[in-house]
Amino acid sequence: MFLGIDLGTSEVKVVLMDEHHVIRAGRGVSLSISRPHPQWSEQQPEDWWEALLRACDELTSTHAHEMRQVRAIGLSGQMHGAILLDQQHHVLRPAILWNDGRSALECSELEASVPALRQITGNMAMPGFTAPKLNWVQKHEPDVFAKIAMVLLPKDYLRFRLTGEFVSDCSDAAGTLWLDVAKRDWSADMLSGSGLTREQMPKLVEGSEASGLLSVALCQRWGMSAGVVVAGGAGDNAASAIGMGAVESGQGFVSLGTSGVIFAVSDQFRPNPESAMHAFCHALPNRWHQMSVMLSAASCLRWVTKLTGQVNEAELLAKVASLDEGALANAPIFLPYLSGERTPHNDASATGSFIGLTHDHQAAHLGYAVLEGVSFGLKDGLQTLLSAGQTIEELTLVGGGARSDYWAQLLANILSVRMLTADGGEAGGAVGAARLAWLAAGGSVKEVCQPLPTKQVFEPNSASTSERLALRYETFRRAYPAIKAI
């Protein structure tokens, strides 16, 4: 058995997977986000740890036999977060998350102080990355900054609590802006730009390598044998790729989670930072990936469901599915920038909008506008990847949004690519973490990183639909700069 742990923004998810790629059991524990000021987004690392303990304790209670057979543990997690520890390994302040936008000014200052930033990191400085967060702390919380002995990413804090080791992997570290992504090592120039040194950074391993052993106390707590290996793991999107079997150049997926991602594997480091596209290390050695990121995706659907007073998302989706072509053509246009935006705008101050509202619009029209607007945002990202030389004909859909056939078909129509859903695709990050655990325990890439069984295929459909969507996409594309100007 292999245990996969995925630390998301809204949930800690754990799965038990066997050597036949069968998910034997899983648990999820919800998390909340604190937004004490505009553009701030924080969580308490202790909440992550308590959620993980609860999930694993429940699995031990219900699946004790399977837990006793766990040979290795893998980690996946939300990227870019900053967890600051002092000399006694105490957390100095709440973790600043990936969707926190407070450090826009520090991004400009960092690029000015390290002119080679984009060449070293393969990315432009954005508030979501870890480095500008530390520059913000240095400026606004100097007492905290002076006490920093170690900086960890979210999943690596869980690793520390599991093993006592300070380790990160190359895929997650690539999202800090401190990594020389081509060399897969910390950059002294980038660390200096944030007032930090290599001694304050964790050791680096590949995602498929061992990073330590589960503590004896936790082995006893969960009924496991001593010597359980903890793999390097990966950032959430690289882990999802491993979970989907996307490990060769040209393979990729769309993730519809809290954020929205289009991910494409590359056998070379191919940066294109000027278009706000990310170029990161993959979770396996000698592999990289390109990625477009929008900050609000399935979270927009949760928001509009609550806003319109629906019982749940399924109720709203059913109402959306009942709309005819005329209603769809006259629905509002939605800009999905509820938490700012990355690709292609790199604008932490961007805000969401409904455009073209009338008295005739009801919850279903708003729901459709949100699904379409998020899909248009992903189309912006896809075009950025294609402009960098990627060739993409099909994508696998993962994340919470993968549960909706309606949204999958809409994405196929808007992106003009074949969309696949897969058995187990909803838990891609956790499955990928379990697979990385398997690799760290001695499994081969060919044996472990197999594609998940295809559940459904969604082909782009009729010319009339394409024409309607093309007209609406043009309005969407023109709306952001017009609204930004006012």
Residue ranges of the annotated binding site for substrate are 79-80
State the Cα–Cα distance between residues 191 and 197, nearest whole angstrom.
Answer: 6
User: Which residues fall within 8 angstroms of residue 54, CB to CB, at 6 or more apart?
Assistant: 29
- Side chain identity at residue 161, one-letter code: R
Residue among 423, 397, 405, 408 at smallest CA distance from 460 = 408
Alpha-carbon separation of residue 279 from 202, 333, 479 (angstroms): 21, 30, 28
404 phi, psi to nearest 5 deg: -100, 115
Residue ranges at the known binding site: 79-80
Residue among 221, 209, 207 at smallest CA distance from 70 = 221
Alpha-carbon separation of residue 415 from 336, 376, 377 (angstroms): 17, 8, 10
Burial of 73 (0-12, 13-18, 19+ CB in 10 A): buried
| H-only helix segments in 164-312 | 170-173, 188-193, 216-221, 236-244, 298-307
Assess whether 267 carries a catalytic annotation: no
169, 172, 236, 380: the active-site residue: 236
State the Cα–Cα distance between residues 251 and 303, nearest whole angstrom.
Answer: 31
Per-position b or e across 183-219, b if 16+ CB within 10 A of its CB: ebebbeebbebbebeeebbbebbbbbbbbbbbbeebb
H or E element, residue 448: helix 445-448
**Pairing state between β 42-43 and 95-96:** antiparallel
Is the distance from CB of 60 to CB of 67 less than 8 angstroms? yes
Per-position b or e across 423-433, b if 16+ CB within 10 A of its CB: ebbbbbbbbbb
**Pairing state between β 252-256 and 394-398:** parallel
Helix (H, G, I), strand (E, B) or coil at 390: coil
With tokens 């690029």, the residue in question is: 111
End-to-end CA distance of the chain: give it in Å, rounded. 56
User: Which residues fall within 8 angstroms of residue 158, CB to CB, at 6 or more apart?
Assistant: 5, 7, 48, 49, 52, 75, 77
Active-site positions read 236
